[in-house]
Structure 1
Amino acid sequence: MGERDKYAKLVELAKRRGFFWPSFEIYGGVSGFYDLGPLGTLLKENIKRLWLDYFVTKHSDMVVAIETPMITPEIVFKASGHLESFTDPIVSCNKCGRVFRADQLIEDALGIKVEGKTPEELTKIIKEKGVKCPVCGGELGEVRTFNLLFQTYIGPYSRDRGYLRPEAAQGMFLAFKRVHTVMRSKLPLGIGQIGRVARNEISPRQSMIRLREFTIMEVEFFFDPSEKYSPPFERFNSRLNILTAEDRLKGVEKPTTYDAEEAVKEGVVKNEWLAYWMVVSKEFVKELGVAEEETFFEEKLPDERAHYATQTFDQMVKVSRWGWVEVSGHAYRGDYDLSRHMKFSGQDLTVFKRFPEP
């Protein structure tokens, strides 16, 4: 049986057995939205409980869970940089008017990776390589950016603009000072959250893998970078399969296996806590049924990283239909978010550090 046939049969089985099906089905459906049926809802709850166990309960000495709103005032995303940077490149067909995500269109047509390239660079590739509209064969226009935030209004006044959050992180950054106080001003401190998010994806595909609304599970971990920490690597098997940015630039496709602590010492991972949470994530995915050899961490190149990150690893998992897909992201954000929110709010989000001696 081909992978396409196997996938089609699994999707059909999921519908019949009550795991999931397209939302708004009687009206023809809308891409990027799915309902969870009775069994799908129970399966999701099992996954959420397991995630809480790994990331919160097993780390109750330093991680707590909170819940924050999905609707967020505009000022928050001005401060975080999402209004400016949370974008994807799009291109329109001059003939039929259809709109496509430009980087995916090029990758599908030419089989080359173009993630992180500017709209101007993508336009040049389209023109030079003769990439056409995949629907009607028409000429494509100039590549431009499209913001992925869903916009709404808070209350009856149009000036009170808000957005559906695309990640849970900002709520945790805004609550940091209060949670830090509640937890008796201790560092390191992890804040976890499970909640709904929304991203106005240009062309959702890959069924349940790429959605416009979904549940996300996140931890933001706060620590003093001037302190020397010893994360509890002994709690888990600390081997990590890593494909570094340097190896990617050399054309290497196979990841290298590192001990997590050695990866930090060798400078492969810039921070010990980043390496530790990568280990936890690997073990969590392993308990979900993914073998170690079927997952690795891919370091993002500088032009692929989000605007807030100094180092990022995507956890990749191999699936039979689409090959390697991202299931989690691990970013070393530094103090970017807290410092930006201090600047835009005028509030002090620093913490008091007590030294043994004055």
Structure 2
Amino acid sequence: MASVLRLLLIEDDEGDAVIVEDLLYESETAVEMIWVRTLKEAVAALDRAKPDCVLLDLHLPDAQEFSGLTAVRAAAPESAIVVLTGMAETHSGLAAVAAGAQDYLVKGRLDPQWLGRAIQYAVQRKQVETAAAQLQASLLRAEEQARLERGLLPRPRVDTDTVSVEPRYRPGREFAALGGDFYDVVQTADGAVHAVIGDVSGHGATEAALGVCLRVAWRSLVLAGLTGVRLVELLEELLVTERENADTFVTLVQVTLPPDRATARTVRAGHHGLLLRDPVGGVSYVQTKGGLALGLFPGEGDWVEDVVALSDGCRLVLFTDGLFEGLISPGDRRLDLDGLLTLARAHGHRQEFIDALIEGAEAASAGYGGLEDDVAVIEIGWRG
């Protein structure tokens, strides 16, 4: 059984309205018609329900030229529109199609089959136009996301002969809303290696753009010679200036590896700790001293720089909370840091440690929605 098309007829002439109704009755098209006389009544009807098609007389008491067409398109953007013109107004019908209608019909030349087919074709044409517009919008969003991801995920600027860097970024489940996870690694002229990983609260293009802004600012400040707590203070000032919502905050951990290779200096702002992996595969969790997230209480972060001792061949692993926040059982039980550490120790001996860690977290939450948040991970260490 064919589906019934919902039709709104906007026609001030009762005789013409009766003719249309009779023709539809004789056609093979299943139509449920509502008739209104004025544009005002039509807008009210469109507020209540959106029809599949609108038959619109171009000459209404309260509409001139194409004002009626413009109003109907605004009130029902997903409805097909077929305009009705007089015998001598073919040019008006063509102009209406150019202005956004799907088709036009001349009143004196209507017959049942022609009218029915015109309505069906107009509805199909509108559906194709809508699908094409949605596809184009989807492609544009994908391009925007790709540009933002490229900004979030930079190329580490290091001497690869002396420094090993393994970055990974995994978008959230089903490429949902792009998050604000960001990272960067830079080696300065004195040989020191600086790394940061952070997470902007929330998801979406705004948060992602803010993450790009902070990452670029961090790299610029490092190359200008700033490190430690002062650098984090300046990032908070930038965040407060650039954020659109006063509730937006950022967690991050910043690490500096001096050329002596014996220590790592860290500043932690509302972020969790990091993993330390030794050359034989042992993994430990290091919770350094820290302060509040950036932007939570501006000017009251109380950040400090902490020092972590490094043995020969140790590698530091920085990560965002998407790695351990996946559900692993019914209810609200998550992998959490303890579960992540267990996974890390099970894979600590593997050469592809970062990939194995992410795959393990995904597998643990596979039956309960997967990793919904973005995941960013960096493993850094000295070569030799």
With a CA cutoff of 8 Å and minimum separation of 6, indicate the structure with the bigger relative contact order: 1
Query: Is TM (by shorter chain) over 0.5?
Result: no
Find the structure with the greater CA-based Rg: 2
Q: TM-score, normalising length from structure 1?
A: 0.24
TM-score normalized by structure 2? 0.23
